[in-house]
């Protein structure tokens, strides 16, 4: 396993990077007096995400000001720059905040370490919020996603349906080996996906690429959308399909949060359609991406090495995968 990128950044270099970003944000006289880094604050991000706590003094102010920033390390410079460009364009888009959508802001990019510094976005976890006011939250998610898809943003990455199929085929082979008794139904599911694969839209939309509760927060009536690493031009149905597969998983893992999946799905879709242009075959495309995502998630539960490898965590993921497989 390679070194954690945050640990490879020496304290003096970290101080210089944070100081430069602070001066860019607050002016050349801003002075960084102290900072701390935490790469364990979230179970997500594979320790490539760091929360920075800063203490600074600004010109003309006697008191220390505190900041909380997020740092994301990337393997490739082009990926970091693509995400930074998209976030800047999202920030500049008129009206997104008025439609209940919020995203992180870009503070700086340190190219030598491929470190993107963003505002740290606080909020309530979406699963917690859903448990308290299910209908309001689900409708807000649908509207926020419709807003996201309407924005005139064109990332350099494109997400085609055949790429989803290419990703799923080896996963289905793995699942057939793992569950030989389910091989027939798994192969039939793959054949159906190949037969029913949707065409790429003539007018693709900006899509998030991994839109689901883990990348959403609820804050004062706004849906905060995080992690645009997989954003692309593509079919808006792929975001809806991913979301619905994740909501379905929530009904399995956390029934106390969300029990009625058909209701949840219908509520999100009704809100999304209300705030979106007419799309006559949206339902069939969403269902396709939903099935594809569910197969991918089942495989990830069983075979991913980046998840918690504690025996109890592994056992729970295996149990969830088996349950999802039986419902597939």
* Domain boundaries along the sequence of the chain: 5-119, 124-327
- Which pLDDT band holds residue 1 (cuts at 50, 70, 90)? very low
Q: What is the pLDDT of residue 308?
A: 76
CB atoms within 10 A of CB 214: 15
One fold for both 5-119 and 124-327? no
Q: Is the dihedral of CA 193, 216, 21, 112 positive or negative?
A: negative
Q: How far is CA 12 from the centre of its chain?
A: 31
Q: What is the pLDDT of residues 85-97, one digit of tens each?
A: 999 999 988 555 5
Q: What is the distance between the alpha carbons of residues 207 and 159, in angstroms, rounded to a whole number?
A: 9
Q: What is the pLDDT of residue 303?
A: 92
Direct distance between the N- and C-terminal alpha carbons of the chain, in angstroms, rounded to an integer: 34
Of 256, 223, 229, 250, whose CA–CA distance to 124 is shortest? 223
Architecture of the 124-327 domain: Alpha-Beta Complex (3.90)
Residue 118 vs residues 49, 106, 256: alpha-carbon distances, Å = 11, 5, 33
* Residue with tokens 């309407």, as numbered in its chain: 150
Q: What is the pLDDT of residues 276-288, one digit of tens each?
A: 999 999 999 999 9
Q: What is the distance between the alpha carbons of residues 78 and 210, in angstroms, rounded to a whole number?
A: 19
**pTM of the predicted model, to two decimals?**
0.93
41-50, 104-113, 271-280: least confidently modelled range: 41-50
Q: What is the distance between the alpha carbons of residues 197 and 139, in angstroms, rounded to a whole number?
A: 28
Q: What is the pLDDT of residues 234-261, one digit of tens each?
A: 999 999 999 999 999 999 999 999 999 9
Mean pLDDT of 143-159: 95
Q: What is the distance between the alpha carbons of residues 205 and 22, in angstroms, rounded to a whole number?
A: 35
* CATH 3.40.50 corresponds to the domain 5-119: no
């Amino acid at each position: 396993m390679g070194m954690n990128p945050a640990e490879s950044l020496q304290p003096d270099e970290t101080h210089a990077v944070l100081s430069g970003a602070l001066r860019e944000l607050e002016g050349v006289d801003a002075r960084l007096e102290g900072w701390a880094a935490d790469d364990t604050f979230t179970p997500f991000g594979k320790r490539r995400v760091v929360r920075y706590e800063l203490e600074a003094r600004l010109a003309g102010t006697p008191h220390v000001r505190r900041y909380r920033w997020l740092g994301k390390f990337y393997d490739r410079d082009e990926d970091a720059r693509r995400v930074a460009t998209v976030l800047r364009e999202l920030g500049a888009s008129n009206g997104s905040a008025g439609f209940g959508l919020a995203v992180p802001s870009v503070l700086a990019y340190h190219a030598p370490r491929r470190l993107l510094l963003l505002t740290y976005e606080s909020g309530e976890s979406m699963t917690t919020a859903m448990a308290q006011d299910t209908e309001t939250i689900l409708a807000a998610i649908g509207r926020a996603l419709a807003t996201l898809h309407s924005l005139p943003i064109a990332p350099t990455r494109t997400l085609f349906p055949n790429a989803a199929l290419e990703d799923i085929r080896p996963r289905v082979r793995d699942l057939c080996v793992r569950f030989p008794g389910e091989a027939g139904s798994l192969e039939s599911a793959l054949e159906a996906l190949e037969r029913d694969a949707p065409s790429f839209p003539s007018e693709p939309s900006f899509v998030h690429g991994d839109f689901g509760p883990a990348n959403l927060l609820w804050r004062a009536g706004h849906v905060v959308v995080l992690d645009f690493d997989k954003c692309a031009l593509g079919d808006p149905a792929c975001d809806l399909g991913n979301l619905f597969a994740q909501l379905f998983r929530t009904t399995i893992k956390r029934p106390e949060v969300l029990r009625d999946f058909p209701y949840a799905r219908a509520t999100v879709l009704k809100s999304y359609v209300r705030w979106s242009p007419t799309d006559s075959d949206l339902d069939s495309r969403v269902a396709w991406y939903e099935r594809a995502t569910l197969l991918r998630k089942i495989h990830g539960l069983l075979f991913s090495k980046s998840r918690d490898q504690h025996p109890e965590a592994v056992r729970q993921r295996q149990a969830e995968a088996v349950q999802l497989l039986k419902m597939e």
